[in-house]
Structure 1
Amino acid sequence: MEFTISSSVVWFLFALVSLGALVLVIIGLLRVNETLNILKGILHRNESNIDESLKSMPKILNNVEEITKEINGEMKSIKEAFRNIDETTEYTASAMQIVSEDILEPIKDVLDIISVVKDVVGRPKKKGIFKSK
């Protein structure tokens, strides 16, 4: 079984495929046009808002820049305050260690001595069963 296609049939099939592709391109372009018209309407309705936003943009950026500078300054102050707190904490810890070593330990030693002396001297004699001569 032999089958041959003439050149006119090939041209006809090529024309159908081309026509289908052309229809798809036209449908795509119509949808793009419809989308662009919708966007144009949105822009037209909001033109005054967009203009106002664009006009206020430099002021907003200036405010952001000022706030950023202010925050940077405050962060430096906070950093310095934390450094001071750290130094004060170290100084306080050192002072407490000195108080402990130089004052509390000698007082504890004195109290220990007083306790020993009290135990030795101030003990009342117990009356026992056996009397000592």
Structure 2
Amino acid sequence: MIEYTVATGDGTSSETFRLVTTILDPADATALELAAVYQQRWEYELSLKEIETQLLAPGAGLRSKSPKMVRQEFWGLLLAHYAIRALMVEAADTDGIDPDRLSFQRTLNIVRRQITDQAAFSPLDTRAGDHQSHRRDP
């Protein structure tokens, strides 16, 4: 068992974690390496949870039936997740904050609203220059 403490970014508090592993030889991996890898794994787990619970409809799985189409659908979900996360990083950089402080669900809701709003106008309006924004006020 490896016990380590992680301080918050501002250093005002910390939390102790215990990591249980079957690696017994410190030459195979140091405690510091295992703690860092665990953090990465946690990020992957959270990303998969966001895809399963927020990008997919509740209780829904992948709709495709063939292995090729399942792979395509899965890559599409990963791409959508990446695009939303990229928007979050851009927004956080603009405001000078940590992207982890932004809500994936709220960002997804904003993206869904924008996609719906942009589909609510006729292409003829844009050619004539008559298109007005259908954005909702926050």
Q: Which interval holds the TM-score relative to the shorter structure?
A: under 0.3
Which of the two has higher C-alpha Rg? 1
TM-score (norm 2): 0.23
Structure having the larger proportion of residues in strand:
2
